[in-house]
Structure 1
């Protein structure tokens, strides 16, 4: 089986119009289409919903469901708040800084830029509470190849120890050495 890409990623939202407005205004994602049914096609369960699809660029689609007959939205309280997020790529660091200024101009609280060495990123939340990351690649020649080589050994060690694996610590050594 050969994957051809992600068809779409779907999340829940509180209000489809508010979600459409936010993603269009804050991130320039237009509405592609909407689907609404009385029953869930895969399970046949009676559960009216509105399913929207937004254009995230380059053929990528971000989708949301508003499901008014379900309990209020929540989150997995056993998973740290920073773990689950949507990350979108921007052209470069200048675009990342421009996006940060634009988002702050819309009244959003934005964290970052954060240096991940192979990319810089900023973080903010949509009106549903979903954490959004915008990332600009800053990878240097050879870094991704080195990380790919290290990955199997890192996964093996993690599987044995469930402790921090230091094989790729070189990514952040300079950043942490400069910290007070």
Structure 2
């Protein structure tokens, strides 16, 4: 189908959804170390889902699944590795509901399966997949928590009724009592060489 004058008005990455086995440590690192402010949280029995601002309108979000063992690993950036599965879905940012509906219509016109608009309270979304099977979402903030002071008592945005300790510290004290340290990956180069992958040019 040829391009039309009515273009999609993307505004960057709404949120990149990743997976964590320890949401408390994740808050302490992303908010406390990287200074990517925690701007909203939600929780249902199956998971917690927390969002960190990486630019106005743009966030990185994490899921912590309830009672779910994860096969975790660590790898350097840009190196192929078979266990690279630290990814849930990519959500792209749109300016408003009209843009969301237009994109939904566009996807349908191209023969792509897409959900109805899902109202998550502080954001509305549609869900679809790319040809590689990557789970995709397009969203717009109904209550944009980025680019403004954070109110940790605002239950529209901080809906987790039992937040991790780091969030309680932010709510009660306005700061984190401590952060977490990280390390460079040990042994990954040897693991890659055993699998026949070389890093030499």
| TM-score normalised by L of structure 2 | 0.35
Counting helix residues as a fraction of each chain, which structure ranks higher? 1
Higher relative contact order (CA 8 A, sep 6+): 2
* TM-score, scaled to structure 1: 0.39
